[in-house]
Amino acid sequence: MDEPVLLTGAGGRVGQAILRGIGDDYEWRLLDREPLPAAKVPAGVTDADCFVADITDPRAVREAMHDVGAVIHLAGDPRKTAPWDSVIRNNIDGTQVVMRAAAEAGVEKLAFASSNHAVGGYETDERLPDLYRVEDDYRLDGNELPRPGNLYGVSKATGEFLGRYYHDEYGMGVVCVRIGNLTKGHPPREYERGQAMWLSHRDCAHLFDCCLRAEYGFEIVYGISDNDRKYYEIDRAREVLGYDPQDNSANYTFEGEPKPGTDAAGGPDASEGGRGGDRDGARSKADTDVPTDGA
């Protein structure tokens, strides 16, 4: 891609995983509501390419959007316990501002960071904890309707519907990535749900690289690594985007240690919280609010 790529929420966890993986491969425009320290900015990205702005500010977003060819939209309130006023402002109104500016600027493609929380309601008492285990064959493939598990999930489902609208109305390519549980170096320790939906940093960067390179209309795909145990299908991401994940939570013990002779991602922990609560050992990780989207 010859035109710059606008990355919103560039300072957050997902944004940094992307930039550390493919930061040298594109010309970037970086937007965050806080100034980015030099350590978070790839070499070659100038101060003029870094925008400090709120995504609910249409003028600032249009300025950052000028002459870009693609957008990766991550910014928003990432707390799954976010109050409704913040969800509306940051995740719904902000996404509307970004998508509208992209469509009106003639941007060719936009990758939207949706979330596993947009479909958290499928994790019913009847399906758990088997849903998180290899022998269970229940799968979500992206064709199902959203079934949010919290108001944060409602906002992500709304973002998907906005993407559908802007694709249909303007012809912009939109891919919604329902991101799983992003950690660096190893899957979430002693946490079945997190291991079933693990997304390593290198697979995250590769997946969004695919979003920038592939051609598509409107798509919903799941953003997880190629885990043995998973209840999200990644076939559509493979088929449409060319996604070829390298990591697998089965290459690690339940405690998060690499198994001998396996290809492990390596690197320090950068664990992300997920839907919490202990249920038959399936959800042993604390229900913490850890940013995933970054702005």
Known binding-site residue numbers: 90, 115, 152, 156
Q: Which residues are catalytic?
A: 152
Enter the tokens of residue 203. Answer: 């697979």
DSSP string, 29-54: EEEESSPPPGGGS-TT--GGGEEE--
Which residues are documented as binding site for NAD(+)? 90, 115, 152, 156
Per-residue buried b or exposed e for 82-115, using 16+ beta carbons within 10 Å of the residue's own CB: beeeebbbbbbebbbbbbbbbbebebbbbbbbbb
Q: Virtual CA dihedral for 73, 187, 274, 217, nearest 10 degrees? A: 30
Enter the tokens of residue 34. Answer: 């806080």
For Cα atoms 182, 274, 285, give the angle at the middle one, nearest 5 degrees. Answer: 105
Nearest CA to 166 among 71, 86, 29? 71
